[in-house]
Amino acid sequence: MGDKNERNEKSEKNGEVAAVRLDGAAVAGATAQEGAAAGRPRRVLTYRDYAAFARMDDAAILRVCEVQVFRATGPGGQGVNTTDSAVRMRHVPTGITVVSRETRSQYQNRQTCLAKLRAAFEQRARRPKPRRKTKVPRKVNERRLEGKRRRADAKKARRRVDW
């Protein structure tokens, strides 16, 4: 019962408690089926939704993220190649994925991922500028039509004359 992969569910009918064992693959499959994979259309997020995510604290963001740790590659030698210190974090509601492999500390890389996620939320939370319709001035339109007329007259003058 103390395993982190077990959870208790209470039946609403008769108040029984049942232990359900979930392995990592089942949990990943369950979260994949919750969104568009289950046939439901994915809701389009607006800048207000991203602003709400940006206001959340780190613990709340981490609760809705899938976190993967892996072995980083690149310069750093043995310190990098032997520890699983790189972190990939995917924010499930938005689908934003960030990766951090800057330091040899997994904790610092997690904090860097959270900072990158928060920056992505803040960037997408900016209100889009309203688009103003532009009207072509009357003189510009007249000039364009006059040029078309001149071009049409020049083409008419090149036609073969039928007697």
Residue 121: closest CA among 25, 20, 35, 45: 45
pLDDT band at 33 (very low <50, low <70, confident <90, very high): very low
Mean pLDDT of the chain: 78
What is the DSSP code string of 53-64?
A: HHHS-HHHHHHT
Judge whether 32 and 81 are in contact, CB under 8 Å: no
pLDDT of residue 3 exceeding 90, the answer is no
Q: Is the pTM of this model over 0.95?
A: no
Which residue ranges form the domains of the chain, and what is each CATH number? 43-124 (3.30.160.20)
Residue 48: closest CA among 109, 132, 126: 126
Q: Which of 39-43, 71-75, 79-83, 150-154 has the highest mean pLDDT?
A: 150-154
- The confidence score (pLDDT) of residue 40 equals 58
pLDDT digits (tens, 9 = 90+) for 138-150: 999 999 999 999 9
- The confidence score (pLDDT) of residue 102 equals 87
- The confidence score (pLDDT) of residue 14 equals 39
pLDDT band at 13 (very low <50, low <70, confident <90, very high): very low
Neighbouring-strand partners of residue 67: 89
- C-alpha distance across the termini of the chain, in Å: 104
pLDDT band at 4 (very low <50, low <70, confident <90, very high): very low
